[in-house]
Structure 1
Amino acid sequence: DNAYESGGYNESAVSSLLPVEVGNATGGTTNIVLTIDISGSAEEGLSTQKAIALNVLDQLGDRNRVGVVAFTGEAFRIADVQRLEGNREVLADRIRRLETGRGTDIAVGLLGANDLLGQRQGTIILLSDGLDDVDRPAAVASQFGGQGTRVISVGAGDRVNEGLLRTIARESGGSYFAADETNRLRLLFGGASRQFEGENLTIVNRGTFITSGVTLTADPGQANRVAMKPGADFQVATPDGTPAIASWRFGLGRVVSVTSYAEDGTLGGLLQPPDSLVVTKSVNYAVGDPSRGRTGVLDPGPVRVGRRTTVVYRGEDPPEVENVSFRRVGDERFQGEFTPREAGYGSIENATYAANYPVEYGRLGVSTGLSGLVTATGGQFFQPDEGERIAELARQQATRVRSVRDTWGWVALLGAVLLFAAEIIARRVQVYRGRTSLESGLP
């Protein structure tokens, strides 16, 4: 509580180093172009993509300026960049009227969005299934990143090439969101009119070094009044959408701001596992990227059978790998694609991946044969999120309860034992008396 606005950071030289603006919790105005894929590859899912586009539009705050571009093999200007307040329904109506076309060229769509921005810096929100070659879109996105325009890609459609969409976002310094994660756009562009509401700390972008592999359960409860600066990376948000952790590159270095804290002035639950990992990774990021000197094939990410996956190789020269053709995308950086044909573990150079079954299989449901087997053996079905029920059943199965009925049978048993003992004693007495008579000579 002695930092940021309470510590007078906005009046010091520290302010220019930070990825957040101190004392401003509402944020500013952003120029945004919604870029919607209406190509032939998306024809079957166009209604889905329209719904996602309308959902994205609903996440954007009134203070933003928004335009719309649609694309197939060419780009179409649907609406000029304009203040969203008062024009939201007009833009929504134009999105609803979109019709499908022929061809797919994501690079053309991105260039059309950039033309719509003109000389203004801004953000392009790309809604596409990503079914296109990666070379040109990645190159265009990299060019935009150098100009200060980032691309946020949203996977939309029945079949989504997440690898390409993640590459586009990464090359421009943006983020990738799945279709069911669009509510996180409120964290970036919601402002006062579209505030985010959550329960605990929320990871905004899971594709960064700081947030990858992190699970957050804590809510420290307090946060400084700050807003994201243009070009900064929004990593973690508080339940009301205020930046909790933000980062950016400043000169040749990196800066991370942690603005959330507990009532006692400490980081509270952020210092306890599993949340403490995000603090550790934030420090590591600021000190230096641990993977900077790493060479070889980097982690290819999620892999599915029959789906093209992008891999990145870092080194002076690309490796020769069967069925993977690498191309240079930067200094000592190469990209390639491969499509696994069967489920299971595989490897590319020094990187191991696990290929999951085709996404279409998930729609078939549970096999009836499995249902019969479970029923016949007296088992039960559980959902993936029912871990507590599984643990409870295991405890019940491990504990055997045996009922003991009260009975008087022990009395009869005790009597029989006593009778047997008495008979033995009587026989011993008789034997003893007979032996005594013989020794004395008495008749």
Structure 2
Amino acid sequence: MNAQDVLRILYQHMEYPFALLLIPFAILLAWWLLRRNFIILKEDLDVRLQKKRVRRLLTVTRPILIILLCIALASPFVQREKLIEGDPFIQLLVDNSTSMALFEEVSSRLAPALEKKLETEVKVVGTATTSNIGDSVLNHLKPYGSVLLITDGNVNAGASLGDVALFASKINATVNAITLNPIHKDAAVQIFGPAKSLADSDSTFTVFINKVGEIPSVRLTVTLDGETIYDQVTSENAYQFTRKLAEGNHRITAKIESPDFFPNNNVYYKTTRVVPKPRILLLSEKNTPLETFLKQLFAVDTATSLPSDLKPYYTIVTNDLPASKLDPVADIISDFTGDGNGLVAFGGENSYERGNYKDSLFETLLPVLVGSPEKKEGDILIAMLIDVSGSQGAGFGGFASSADFSKAATIDIMRGLKSDTRVAVIAFNTQAYMISEPSPVFAKQGIEDVISRLKWGGGTNIAAGLLKAIAVLNEYPGSKNIVLLSDGKTQLQASAMESAKLAANSGIKIYTVGVGPTTDEQFMIDVAELTNGIYFRATEESRLRILFGPVDENKAQTGQMELVILNKNHFITDNFEPNATLYGFNQVSPKGAARLLATTSTGEPILSVWRLGLGRVAAVTTDDGAKWAGSLLGEKNSRLLSRTMNWAIGDPERKSQSFIDAKDTRLDEPADITIRSTQVPEAEGVVFYKIDEDTYTGSILPTQTGFQNLAGAVFAVNYESEFEGLGQNRELESIVRTSGGKMFSPSDTDGIVEYAKTRSKREVNERDYLRWPFLIAAMSLFIVEIFIRRIVRKE
């Protein structure tokens, strides 16, 4: 048993265990005081012998007395579960927003039925087109309380129900809801697509039809700039189209015809603005297929050396140039990117490790280091962090619970690791539990059986799990990583982010895997990105093998490797799955602050990016398609390169002397207008404010739907968001379960009442302090000591 184990045991039974450290110092002080005679008197031999006997007695009793007092000061305790009987009470919140008109009215029957059996308080929340249900629940939540919702769960204002459920679980309250059945049918239409695109490039738009009730088909009409491009009766929920659009503003309208309940959500308007192609500079000493590809998308100037004036260019593209050509102008390129421009460096047979980039000035601008990293055997450490909280009880995929998926995924990940990789397994809910100490995978005998027997339950505290994993990894040298499997729905989210920052400061990367039907993806992405890790969806966890698994030597020897998107949480790689074969690559490794987006199937970096000052830099560590990466220039795979260029370019209008931009909006929501002009713009009903040099912004609150023109800006105004989400929100049940609540049918009054009674009884974990026994023992000993001393004196 080491010191850490002793401390853990002490903290389990004492509130202030460090008070025990006073014992040796207090005993030494008492011993010293007993040995000292501060006043020297002439005494008889008998008196001196009596005092000597008293000192011997005190030498025994005083240390015992000190030990007893220090133990009492350390506040020992025992944990006891106590059942508290509360008053059963039902708090019923009824959503009164307009979208609830689609459902059967159940509150008028349910409330009186509940009032007959139990004290019930009914509150009406939400009004007209405002569904601020989350705020209303927050206002009525009390510790250890519960609320019952009659709502469709579609919140369009205030706090989200998901955040409220997490807060409820934190204060041991529950959110419950009634399952609603629609009595009216309705359909709504929306258009999704880019608000801004480049001239002569493909722009894709999706028309989405949301239905509730029995609506087998609707008539959908789509117009682009007044011309009908689709007019058919369809049973599909989506229609997608792609167009090359000329410069200027374009108007898209989607209209459905269906006998439904809300007619105002049957028409949707969208604007898109096409801007001129930005100018880029291609530096190349040879003819390249890359030039042909880039000229289809951008205005391209090709040169063999850097021109004196770089102001017209948004991005510099270097194609397979050696360091001897780039080092003399590295400072100029650094200033260029520092001003907010881009740099894309393509590899090949004359660049990177073949072009002496290692330790060059140009290498300092890139998100990669030249050369493959040297790793010793067993150099990689991984802490597998498994969420076994109550929110993991929901079914997921083909598994009975999300926890079962997490356990299966953990076992699958461990099977795909190199055998010498050291792995620790930690489970957590509100606390963290060490399942298996760090050791090589080959030494993990019986660990799969242990993992498969883990039970889920309790609250969620990701911070506790992260802190435990950090403490474990910090005891070992090597490359440290945490793989977190969770739905991301945690109490104390700020604490979890602080724990992730601590991991980043400790040189630990966190790779997150989203598990569960309603994963908080943004939180999981934020945790991963804070440490330069990667977020994987549940279906993507096998990609961890690319990072930590053994290299497939047979595949590597063939010289043919597939392109794999490793990180799909970036503008460049979002919703993109390539089908490309590569025949070569440059040897690099990503820098600590870089983001590795794409690799070969054997794990060699192909696309790495980072921010350099205000600019953006991408390293494409394969060639221009002339020899190694020809498939990247194909129609489907070229999206990777075009998106990389668009990311490096950034805003294609940032160098424009003047522009007008307005964002589409909805009724009762302001439309924001931004204008770049040398003169202060003027428009009726709008006050403009200067936000930058020659840049002004203002807003207006529209009162009717359709296309509107203001100060030369065209924007669309659509129906209120209240009519967008139809039917009972599919995530409502999962949100309710996050707080430990339940879904009830409107007729299940007995079940609701029984649940309320059960919730009123709660077990609390209390500490019973054991100070008094030690204090009484100390006082008793002190009294005995006085009694003995008096007897000795009488003698």
For the aligned pair, the TM-score class normalised by the smaller chain equals 0.5 to 0.7
1:103 aligns with 2:475: no
Relative to structure 1, is the Cα distance of residues 113 and 353 closer, same or farther in structure 2, using a 3 angstrom cutoff? farther
Whole-Å separation in 1 of the counterparts to 2:653 and 2:485: 30
Whole-Å separation in 1 of the counterparts to 2:652 and 2:554: 35
1:38 aligns with 2:396: no
1:221 aligns with 2:578: no
Aligned CA RMSD, in angstroms, stands at: 4.2
1:239 aligns with 2:597: no
Relative to structure 1, is the Cα distance of residues 91 and 250 closer, same or farther in structure 2, using a 3 angstrom cutoff? farther
Q: 1:10 — aligned with what?
A: 358
Cα offsets for 1:31-71 (capped at 9, x unmatched)? 22111111222244332221011112223233533222111
Whole-Å separation in 2 of the counterparts to 1:291 and 1:38: 49
Whole-Å separation in 2 of the counterparts to 1:178 and 1:18: 29
Q: Per-residue deviation at 1:251?
A: 6.8
Q: Per-residue deviation at 1:143?
A: 4.4
1:70 aligns with 2:427: yes
Whole-Å separation in 2 of the counterparts to 1:179 and 1:158: 10
Counterpart pick for 2:730 among 351, 358, 361? 358
Counterpart pick for 1:130 among 479, 488, 510? 488
One-letter identity of the residue aligned with 2:407: K
Relative to structure 1, is the Cα distance of residues 229 and 140 closer, same or farther in structure 2, using a 3 angstrom cutoff? same
Q: 2:303 — aligned with what?
A: none
Is 254-263 or 61-70 further displaced after alignment? 254-263
| Within-5 A mapping of 1:395-410 | none
Q: Per-residue deviation at 1:18?
A: 4.2
Tell me if structure 1 keeps the 8 A contact 2:510–2:532: yes
Whole-Å separation in 2 of the counterparts to 1:25 and 1:152: 20
Q: 1:281 — aligned with what?
A: 643
SS of the aligned residue for 2:353 comes to coil
Tell me if structure 2 keeps the 8 A contact 1:246–1:256: yes
Whole-Å separation in 1 of the counterparts to 2:573 and 2:719: 26
1:256 aligns with 2:618: yes
TM-score by length of 2: 0.34
Relative to structure 1, is the Cα distance of residues 10 and 82 closer, same or farther in structure 2, using a 3 angstrom cutoff? farther
Higher relative contact order (CA 8 A, sep 6+): 2
Cα offsets for 1:209-258 (capped at 9, x unmatched)? 33224452332432223344545322112233322112235677654221
Whole-Å separation in 1 of the counterparts to 2:406 and 2:589: 31
Q: 1:87 — aligned with what?
A: 443
Tell me if structure 2 keeps the 8 A contact 1:34–1:125: yes
Relative to structure 1, is the Cα distance of residues 220 and 346 closer, same or farther in structure 2, using a 3 angstrom cutoff? farther
| Within-5 A mapping of 1:33-432 | 33-43=383-393, 44-84=401-441, 86-89=442-445, 91-118=447-474, 122-133=480-491, 134-157=493-516, 159-192=518-551, 200-249=562-611, 254-261=616-623, 264-265=626-627, 267-286=629-648, 358=730
Whole-Å separation in 2 of the counterparts to 1:110 and 1:290: 41
Whole-Å separation in 1 of the counterparts to 2:462 and 2:612: 31
Q: Per-residue deviation at 1:25?
A: 7.5
One-letter identity of the residue aligned with 2:387: D
Relative to structure 1, is the Cα distance of residues 191 and 224 closer, same or farther in structure 2, using a 3 angstrom cutoff? farther
Tell me if structure 1 keeps the 8 A contact 2:513–2:536: yes
SS of the aligned residue for 1:5 comes to helix
Whole-Å separation in 2 of the counterparts to 1:141 and 1:289: 31
Relative to structure 1, is the Cα distance of residues 11 and 164 closer, same or farther in structure 2, using a 3 angstrom cutoff? closer
Q: Per-residue deviation at 1:203?
A: 1.0
Whole-Å separation in 1 of the counterparts to 2:517 and 2:643: 34
Whole-Å separation in 2 of the counterparts to 1:356 and 1:271: 45
Percent of aligned pairs sharing the same letter: 32
Cα offsets for 1:85-143 (capped at 9, x unmatched)? x3244544442343334221112111111111226562211011223244332343244
Whole-Å separation in 2 of the counterparts to 1:158 and 1:176: 16
One-letter identity of the residue aligned with 2:439: Q
Whole-Å separation in 2 of the counterparts to 1:146 and 1:353: 42
Tell me if structure 2 keeps the 8 A contact 1:62–1:193: no
SS of the aligned residue for 2:423 comes to strand
Tell me if structure 2 keeps the 8 A contact 1:38–1:72: yes
Q: Per-residue deviation at 1:356?
A: 11
Tell me if structure 2 keeps the 8 A contact 1:30–1:65: yes
One-letter identity of the residue aligned with 2:486: S
Whole-Å separation in 2 of the counterparts to 1:58 and 1:196: 20
SS of the aligned residue for 2:411 comes to helix
Q: Per-residue deviation at 1:26?
A: 7.8
SS of the aligned residue for 1:125 comes to strand
SS of the aligned residue for 1:201 comes to strand
Please list every run of 5 or more consecutive structure 2 residues that lacks an aligned counterpart in the other structure.
1-348, 394-400, 655-661, 664-717, 734-795
Counterpart pick for 1:22 among 359, 364, 370? 370
Tell me if structure 1 keeps the 8 A contact 2:380–2:422: yes
Equivalenced residues, count: 309
